[in-house]
Amino acid sequence: MEFRIEHDSMGEMQVPADKYWGAQTQRSYQNFRIGNEKMPKEIISAFAFLKKAAALANFRLGKLDEEKLNAISAAADEILAGKLDDNFPLVVWQTGSGTQSNMNVNEVIANRGNAIAGKKLLHPNDDVNKSQSSNDTFPTAMHIAAVFEIRQKLIPAAESLIAVFKRLEDENAGIVKSGRTHLQDATPIAFSQEISGWRAMLETSLEQINIALPGISRLALGGTAVGTGLNAPKGFAEEAAKAVSELTGYDFQTAPNKFHALTSKDELVFMHGALKGLAANLMKIANDIRWLASGPRDGLGEINIPANEPGSSIMPGKVNPTQCESMTMVAVQVIANDTAVAFAASQGNFELNVFMPVLIYNFLQSVRLLADGMESFNIHCVSGITANKDKMRHNLYNSLMLVTALNPYIGYENAAKTAKLAFSENISLKEACVKLGFLTAEKFDEVFHPEEMI
């Protein structure tokens, strides 16, 4: 491998000749050989938007000339296009402020910008990092990345799943089945009503996510090192947030209190709480579906789900609810990530939180897993659900809890006696009720209508 010499304030470093990063990136790359978890690509893209926006703000405020603006913008655009992906080698387990990833981006933009300009034009600190500090850029990149992934991936995936549940409600109108509470038989429910509960869970999760969006749309940029805005020109914070909005197409605002924005991560905690709520709802929905589909002969068997893969290496013909299992595992990971996010956010010491890389790594993993998981669950499972009407009817009419319909006519205690006799002698509710002398066969038929109990 060929190398070139780069320098920083600590001296010279050998850097691979085919990479655009500089000395500070190389130091971090060599000093933190920990794990395989790289700084998320979403953060690098957010930094590209941020650096281009900061350059625009500095240009508009007369602090950066047009030639440098164009060079920074061109390099940032190449990052966003994925052309420089192999120039960001740093792991999550680095400085807790994310300084080294900020400098990684600064160095790559400076060196690539200089290559585009054909001369030594940009300095990573003086130009690309102008009016900024790692302490305000990394939390800003966190918020930009979070908003992007939630708006572009998570919300559309949830909305698509909601739409399929709405379709299933319409398709299954009029089908009545046994309800279940405590995993035991309960009074009847329409299958469309059961599906509507799943749909409403997702809609509620989306409402909660939308409530949390304004908080993570506030940017720390302009606070610089400790929140005072040292070395940033007046109006930079507002101008930079405006530029981020212009470049991304989403509405961002400058954080009203930069001291809060640098040290507190409560807005990300609040949003991740909504993500955890979504995960909990998806866990419940996926479990309901796999239990309703259990069997195919010796389980509930009330619904059919797509058969996607062979389910066993030893049992021929076995097919398992693999998409449900995948979705529930995603939920487990997201719920676990919530602990990491909350604990990392609790570690803001004085003017800065230094657990930011691990926080955003877990946060973005949750968003990515939920979005991908819902899309897969939707395409390969939910969209193919059909009702097993015969099994639903069989289970409904064999449910002892239909006896609840008799309460107004024979009373709760007599209804309980009827259910117990039917169960112990394996006879119908009608036979038990007539045998006990509570109703005639004719009166039973007159008042007993399970389909009307929904």
Q: Give the domain range for residue 365.
A: 136-219+257-390
Pairing of strands 218-219, 348-349: unpaired
The pTM of the full predicted model, rounded to 2 decimals, is: 0.96
Residue ending a domain, among 344, 371, 390, is 390
Q: Which candidate, 208, 372, 363, places its Cα nearest to that of 278? A: 208
Mean pLDDT for the stretch of residues 411-422: 97
Q: Are residue 100 and residue 209 in the same domain, yes or no?
A: no
Catalytic sites, residue numbers = 182, 312
- If one counts the domains in the chain, the total is 3
pLDDT, tens only, 242-267: 999 999 999 999 999 999 999 999 99
The reply to whether 234 falls in a domain is no
Q: Are residue 184 and residue 118 in the same domain, yes or no?
A: no
18 exposed, middle or buried (CB, 10 Å; 0-12, 13-18, 19+)? exposed
**CATH number of 124's domain:** 1.10.275.10
pLDDT, tens only, 36-87: 999 999 999 999 999 999 999 999 999 999 999 999 999 999 999 999 999 9
Mean pLDDT for the stretch of residues 296-318: 92
Q: Is the pLDDT of residue 147 over 90?
A: yes
Q: Diameter of the chain by CA atoms?
A: 101
The reply to whether 240 falls in a domain is no
Please state, rounded to an integer, the average pLDDT across all residues of the chain. 97
Q: Are residue 151 and residue 42 in the same domain, yes or no?
A: no
Sign, CA torsion 253/264/201/309: positive
Q: Annotate 279-301 with three-state secondary structure.
A: HHHHHHHHHHHHHHCCCCCCCCC
Q: Are residue 65 and residue 140 in the same domain, yes or no?
A: no
Q: Are residue 79 and residue 200 in the same domain, yes or no?
A: no
pLDDT, tens only, 281-303: 999 999 999 999 999 889 999 99
Q: Are residue 212 and residue 349 in the same domain, yes or no?
A: yes
Mean pLDDT for the stretch of residues 80-97: 98
pLDDT, tens only, 175-197: 999 999 999 999 999 999 999 99
Beta strands in 274-350 (DSSP E): 303-304, 348-349
Residue ending a domain, among 105, 130, 155, is 130
Q: Are residue 341 and residue 327 in the same domain, yes or no?
A: yes
